[in-house]
Chain A
Amino acid sequence: MFKAFSSIMQSLQFKTDVPVIIDAETVPNECFSPIFRRLDKKSLLNCQLACHRFNDLISSDSFWIEYARILNISNVLPSLEWRRAATQKKFVGNEDNEIDTSSFNFNIKKIVLSGRGYSPITPLFISHFENARDNTISGTLRSDDFSIRANGSGIHMERDGGNGCEPHPDVSKCFVFSFTESSISVFIDLVNSGIDPWILDHVRPRIRITQKVNHRNDCAARLSFAAQLNYHETQWIERFGHVQTMSNTDHKRYKSVNKEWAQWTGQPWEDWTIEFDDYPSGIRHLTILNEGEDRQFWRGFYGPKVANIQVEVILPDEPIVKPLAVDSEKCNEDENPNAEDEDDDDDEVPPRVGVFRMPLFRRGRHMYGIPPAVARHEDEDEED
């Protein structure tokens, strides 16, 4: 309150005083860095547009490393060993220089601006539950970052996660499914989150997805927890997806955990983990699915509970690089639908028509403007 008042007084005072003008030509660069460090991100981007000198100052890696330290988000940055290895182009596993490391640079600015980088990534749909009536979402809700298909009574966000089961000190919010199968999908663009493409190709760090799971003691429940690594766009490969929700899978690019609880089998919260450590080069996107329902077909929220979904990209302790790895699990869905227009990656174009895919294309045609992941979910609705 006092700070806001001070800001108002400061702005008023600025308008009434003789205007303050800083002659930038006479001020050295080392004086501008502490000024820029105290600006918010939007003002920083405006500073970059003001002149070339400011653009060069703000574009340097050292500025963004210091900026991350001031914002107290240094954990988004790669470790010092990795930054030093990228600067000196000296990596473990490349002593014979078979791998060309000349373009292996960290985009520190992108890492800091994304706010994710190499720190744990949490989904972005929580605010939608907080703003919904009764903290419950019904129907379909989708964005670039997630898709929620809430059937039955919907999906409910429960505080402290203790209804019908033992609460957990780390669970402050959890998401409860209801009597018809519903799903929560999370789409993560790894490159836009600050993971550089050369890291995904030549380092291929472990990607770990963790969450906490429980169910009500008085009701039977079922939950599928699945994840896929994809090449293009934000997509869910249905052929893999069917296999993943039927049984546990442990492939290089898609893994899943499935579980059914019988009635009256109370138990504490469980930690579920999916970890990718042997995926091929070229991966750019990660898709996470939670699909669940209660088995008693009761009204209300008696299905499984999911909390604390978190994604970690874990660089090795040693700065190691590897040759490119070929994908032994590639399928037709991985073909790039935008291969003809490399510059129009954001355009939504229908996938290439093949004879065997005619039904899928026909069904998806009227959903032209919907992201592919949602179009496939709509197909699933029609099949039901």
Chain B
Amino acid sequence: MSAEAVAAAPIAEEATPVVYYSIESNDRVVLKISEQAIKQSATLSNSITNLGYSAENAESMVPIPIEKVNGKTLKLVVEWCEHHKADPVPEAYPSGNTVLPVWDRKFVDIEHDALTDLVNASNFLEVMTLLTYCCKFIAGLAKGMSPEEMRVFFCIPTDEEDEKAERFGKEKTEASATSADTTA
């Protein structure tokens, strides 16, 4: 089990030392997140409160397991929370017109399945502002698309593709049956 510090925080004043909590992803990557940044995630804040973690024993406690998020995505979420740790946490789901800041615009502009995992992770960890930014980015891309383009964008199989997959599965089953008969 190897610990990996996300950000080397500068040495704070002795009066207010920075407290770090350890969290562990489903592939056993352990990350540290500061006490201020963890407020951005309602799930993590509630976990700390309910499990009795406090500033005194944070360093010695076992990491909090996050079963539904992998290490790469959790690293992104922690990075986002650290960057926005000074921001106020929205009480409810933010609605209405949302402006996507420049840093966040670059942050959510990631490739392949990473954005999907980021949406799922921010939804599970209840990082509402990050989820809002991801959804706004996706909506901006989807605006103006035709239904066919949306199927490609959202990886939705068409009826023909479903039929092909079904036929392939059936042929595979028949081939297995034939092999079994030949063996018998």
Spell out A's residues near B (CB within 8 Å): 10, 13-14, 17-28, 30-31, 34-40, 42-43, 46-47, 49-51, 54, 66, 69-70
Contacts and interface: CB of A to CB of B under 8 A. Distances in A.
Given A17-B111, A20-B111, A38-B136, A47 B120 contact: no
A35 B109 contact: no
Contacts of A19: 111
Given A20-B111, A24-B155, A69 B131 contact: no
B95 A22 contact: no
Contacts of B150: 46-47, 50, 54
B140 interface: yes
Interface in B63-122: 93, 95-96, 98, 109-113, 115-117, 119-120
Given A26-B120, A38-B135, A70-B95, A47 B143 contact: no
B120 A31 contact: yes
A22 B147 CA distance: 15
Given A30-B123, A34-B132, A50-B156, A43 B143 contact: yes
B132 A43 contact: no
A190 B106 CA distance: 47
Given A34-B131, A43-B145, A66-B95, A27 B111 contact: no
7 contacts: A21-B113, A31-B123, A31-B135, A34-B93, A34-B131, A35-B139, A38-B135
Contacts of A24: 154-156
Contacts of A14: 141
A46 B146 contact: yes
A14 B144 CA distance: 14
B119 A27 contact: yes
A380 to B, nearest CB: 47
B168 interface: no
Interface centre among A31, A40, A42 (most CB of B within 10 A): A31
A28 B155 CA distance: 14
Contacts of A30: 123
B58 interface: no
Given A43-B144, A50-B154, A70 B109 contact: no
A34 B130 CA distance: 12
Contacts of B116: 22-23, 26-27
B177 interface: no
A47 B116 CA distance: 18
Given A23-B116, A28-B123, A46-B150, A40 B131 contact: no
B96, B109, B135: residue with the most chain A Cβ atoms closer than 10 Å: B135
A37 to B, nearest CB: 7
B112 A31 contact: no
Nearest to B113: A23
Contact of A69 (B95, B132, B143): B95
Contacts of B152: 21
Contacts of B139: 35-39
Contacts of B140: 10, 38
Nearest to B137: A20
Contacts of B95: 37, 66, 69-70
B142 A35 contact: yes
Contacts of B132: 34
A30 B134 CA distance: 13
Contact of B142 (A10, A13, A18, A39): A39
B149 to A, nearest CB: 8
Contacts of A13: 109
Contacts of B143: 38-40, 43
Contacts of A50: 147, 150-151, 154, 156
A21 to B, nearest CB: 6
Contacts of B154: 21-24, 50-51
B147 A49 contact: yes
B138 interface: yes
Given A46-B146, A46-B147, A20 B141 contact: yes
A19 B141 CA distance: 10
Nearest to A42: B144
Interface in B151-168: 151-156
Given A22-B138, A26-B117, 18 more contacts: A14-B141, A20-B110, A20-B111, A20-B112, A21-B152, A22-B154, A23-B113, A27-B119, A31-B120, A35-B139, A39-B142, A40-B143, A43-B142, A46-B146, A46-B147, A47-B147, A50-B154, A70-B95
